[in-house]
């Protein structure tokens, strides 16, 4: 298990490297991540070479840094050959200082998992796996368009537990017709398979997805706000009850087992975003730049090969924008935000009337003089709380 020192603290948000693998074996009907299905084999060495080219540009922007975590996300990174993963990790170490033992996570789908590949990823340096289990009943897995069944999921969980020092898995709840009793039962089963970290997401109907069309046509009904709140609260109670409370809106861990990489995002640290559709935040002097790359994989490859990177946007964020982003990310965390840091960016105190109103209604609270956080009730209306404090 990770120690507290290895996950840093909010005054040291760290520097993460994110690498995006943009391909999946099939597109899930709820998903709006940058993931694409290709019926021809993907030229993995060509992607490796492009990743390394883009890393050189990110290194030019970031300057020398010590990496505190690496995350290979997707898409389905477990469609990468172990040799591809190894080459990507070796590439990162060419551009930045990568201390031994830092968290190196890879997302994996239960359907694309075999023991030999897992051993290969482990040998390449991956020490944490995040599995997209999504549901623990076959009917809902089918409804979610997944290629795996419960048996595959349990096999993948078992392998991940045996092979990697750390593992987590994702579930999606607030599915159509899901009762709180059914979810409680499924979650209790899930926690019995978990090691020390779980990501539990409420189903979001994303614009442009097949689920969005069905939802608009009234053919897919998800739990309403009140029912979602009941499901959310049951989730908090069960995970807290087994010592894996939420440390972020959707993420639950035993103390010390939090995802170091995701903490860097939420604590508004820096990260290099490599690959199609990846985002980055890099501090340069007193500025922070936001980078975004081309989303379409083949177009991204073309850009990288022609101009040395696939970045289509590099925006210098003003102090106000940085303060807003810090608030937006930091209030997702149970530890909340460091007010001194927020004030040094925004140049002001939180509006006293708004703050008082939110405190009196039980949505936020102060932790000593220097931290502000959402209460569990505030987490349920997080967007409104952020909007209130930001303006
Ligand atoms: C980028 S996906 C990658 C994981 C991997 N490709 C998989 O699906 O197994 C990360 C996670 O986001 C969650 N997710 C994606 N779309 C979602 C949605 N519309 N609503 C809720 N959760 C979603 C799923 O739990 C998924 O495992
Ligand atoms: S949920 Fe995962 S497997 Fe499904 S399309 Fe999205 S990224 Fe691919």
H-helix or E-strand spanning residue 313: strand 311-317
If asked whether residues 133 and 248 sit together in one domain, one would say yes
- Range from 33-37, 123-127, 332-336, 350-354 carrying the lowest mean pLDDT: 350-354
pLDDT band at residue 368 under the 50/70/90 scheme: confident
pLDDT band at residue 116 under the 50/70/90 scheme: confident
| Closest atom of ligand 2 to CA, residue 146 | 4
| Closest atom of ligand 1 to CA, residue 77 | 6
| pLDDT on residue 313 | 87
Which residue in the block uniquely carries the two structure tokens 């033992």? 101
Q: Has residue 241 got a pLDDT over 70?
A: yes
For ligand 2, atom 6: residue with the closest CA: 31
The domain boundary, picked from 265, 281, 308, lies at 265
The three-class DSSP label of residue 129 is strand
Q: What whole-number percentage of the chain has pLDDT above 70?
A: 97
CA-to-CA distance for 152 and 138, rounded, in angstroms? 10
Q: Is residue 9 part of a domain?
A: no
If asked whether residues 214 and 329 sit together in one domain, one would say no
| pLDDT on residue 287 | 87
What's the domain range around 162?
Answer: 15-265
Q: Has residue 95 got a pLDDT over 90?
A: yes
| Closest atom of ligand 1 to CA, residue 76 | 6
The three-class DSSP label of residue 41 is coil
Q: Has residue 9 got a pLDDT over 70?
A: no
| Closest atom of ligand 1 to CA, residue 30 | 19
For ligand 1, atom 16: residue with the closest CA: 31
191 CA → ligand 1 middle, Å: 19
Q: What is the rounded (10 degree) CA torsion for 155, 159, 162, 168?
A: -90
Kindly state the average pLDDT of the residues 249-274.
97
Q: Across-strand partners of 18?
A: 71, 273
Q: How many domains does the chain have?
A: 2
Q: Is residue 271 part of a domain?
A: no
Higher pLDDT among residues 165 and 390, named by residue: 165
The mean of the pLDDT values for the chain is: 94
| pLDDT on residue 1 | 37
Within 10 A of 4 (CB to CB), how many other CB atoms are there?
10
Q: Is residue 310 part of a domain?
A: no
Residue 194: cis peptide before it, omega within 30 degrees of 0: no
Ligand lying nearest the CA atom of residue 204: 1
Q: Contact at 8 Å (CB) between 79 and 21?
A: yes
If asked whether residues 243 and 337 sit together in one domain, one would say no
Q: Is the CB of 228 under 6 A from ligand 1?
A: no
If asked whether residues 231 and 361 sit together in one domain, one would say no
If asked whether residues 167 and 260 sit together in one domain, one would say yes
If asked whether residues 60 and 186 sit together in one domain, one would say yes
Highest mean predicted confidence (pLDDT) among 8-17, 249-258, 347-356: 249-258
Threshold 0.85, pTM exceeds: yes
Q: Which residues contact 13 (CB under 8 A, 6 or more apart)?
A: 263, 264, 267, 268, 269, 270
Q: Has residue 114 got a pLDDT over 90?
A: no
pLDDT band at residue 391 under the 50/70/90 scheme: low
If asked whether residues 125 and 217 sit together in one domain, one would say yes
If asked whether residues 132 and 216 sit together in one domain, one would say yes
Q: Has residue 373 got a pLDDT over 50?
A: yes
Q: Is residue 82 part of a domain?
A: yes
Question: What CATH number did the domain enclosing 157 receive?
Answer: 3.20.20.70
Ligand lying nearest the CA atom of residue 134: 1
Q: Is residue 52 part of a domain?
A: yes
Q: Has residue 5 got a pLDDT over 70?
A: no
343 CA → ligand 1 middle, Å: 34
If asked whether residues 51 and 152 sit together in one domain, one would say yes
The domain boundary, picked from 223, 243, 265, lies at 265
If asked whether residues 231 and 131 sit together in one domain, one would say yes
Dihedral sign for Cα atoms in the order 10, 14, 20, 25: negative
If asked whether residues 252 and 369 sit together in one domain, one would say no
Higher pLDDT among residues 67 and 284, named by residue: 67
25 CA → ligand 2 middle, Å: 9
Of 76, 78, 82, whose CA–CA distance to 37 is shortest? Answer: 76
Q: Is residue 273 part of a domain?
A: no
If asked whether residues 216 and 355 sit together in one domain, one would say no
Dihedral sign for Cα atoms in the order 224, 227, 233, 234: negative
| pLDDT on residue 10 | 61
The domain boundary, picked from 223, 245, 265, lies at 265
Q: Is the CB of 251 under 6 A from ligand 1?
A: no
199-218: pLDDT as tens digits? 999 999 999 999 999 999 99
Q: How far is CA 234 from CA 13, 51, 189, 224, in A?
A: 30, 42, 14, 15
190 CA → ligand 1 middle, Å: 17
Question: What CATH number did the domain enclosing 371 receive?
Answer: 1.10.10
Within 10 A of 357 (CB to CB), how many other CB atoms are there?
13
Q: Which residues contact 165 (CB under 8 A, 6 or more apart)?
A: 127, 128
Q: What's the residue count for the chain?
A: 391
Q: Is residue 369 part of a domain?
A: yes
Q: Is residue 228 part of a domain?
A: yes
325-344: pLDDT as tens digits? 999 999 999 999 999 999 99
Residue 17: cis peptide before it, omega within 30 degrees of 0: no
Q: Contact at 8 Å (CB) between 321 and 328?
A: no
Which residue in the block uniquely carries the two structure tokens 């696939």? 310
């Amino acid at each position: 298990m990770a120690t507290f020192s290895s996950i840093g603290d909010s005054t040291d948000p760290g520097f993460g490297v994110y690498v995006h693998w943009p391909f999946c074996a099939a597109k899930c009907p709820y998903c709006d991540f940058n993931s694409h299905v290709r019926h021809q084999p993907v030229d993995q060495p060509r992607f490796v070479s492009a990743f390394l080219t883009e890393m050189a540009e990110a290194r030019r922007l970031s300057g020398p840094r010590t990496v505190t975590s690496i995350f290979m996300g997707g898409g389905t990174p477990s469609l990468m050959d172990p040799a591809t993963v190894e080459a990507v990790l070796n590439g990162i170490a060419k551009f930045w200082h990568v201390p031994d033992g830092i968290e190196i996570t890879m997302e994996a789908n239960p359907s694309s998992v075999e023991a030999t590949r897992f051993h290969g990823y482990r040998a390449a340096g991956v020490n944490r796996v995040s599995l997209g289990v999504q549901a623990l009943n076959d009917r809902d897995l089918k409804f979610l368009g997944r290629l795996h069944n419960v048996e595959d999921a349990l096999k993948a969980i078992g392998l991940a537990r045996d092979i990697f020092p750390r593992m987590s898995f994702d579930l999606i709840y607030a599915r159509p017709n899901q009762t709180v009793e059914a979810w409680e039962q499924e979650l209790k089963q899930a926690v019995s398979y978990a090691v020390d970290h779980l990501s539990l997401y409420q189903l979001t109907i994303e614009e442009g997805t097949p689920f969005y069309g069905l939802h608009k046509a009234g053919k897919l009904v998800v739990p309403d706000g009140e029912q979602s709140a009941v499901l959310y609260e049951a989730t908090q109670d069960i995970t807290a009850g087994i010592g894996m409370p939420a440390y972020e809106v959707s993420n639950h861990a035993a103390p010390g087992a939090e995802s170091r990489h995701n903490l860097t995002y939420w604590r508004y640290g820096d990260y290099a975003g490599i690959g199609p559709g990846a985002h980055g935040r890099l501090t340069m002097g007193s500025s922070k730049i936001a980078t975004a790359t081309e989303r379409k994989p083949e177009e991204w490859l073309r850009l990288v090969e022609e101009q040395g990177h696939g970045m289509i946007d590099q925006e210098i964020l003003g102090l106000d924008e940085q303060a807003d982003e810090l608030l937006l990310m930091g209030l997702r965390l149970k530890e909340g935000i460091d007010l001194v840091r927020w004030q040094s960016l925004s140049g002001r105190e939180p509006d006293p009337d708004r703050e008082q109103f939110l405190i009196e209604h039980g949505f936020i609270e102060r932790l000593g003089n220097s931290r502000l956080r959402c209460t569990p009730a505030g987490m349920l209306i997080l967007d409104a709380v952020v909007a209130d404090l930001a303006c």
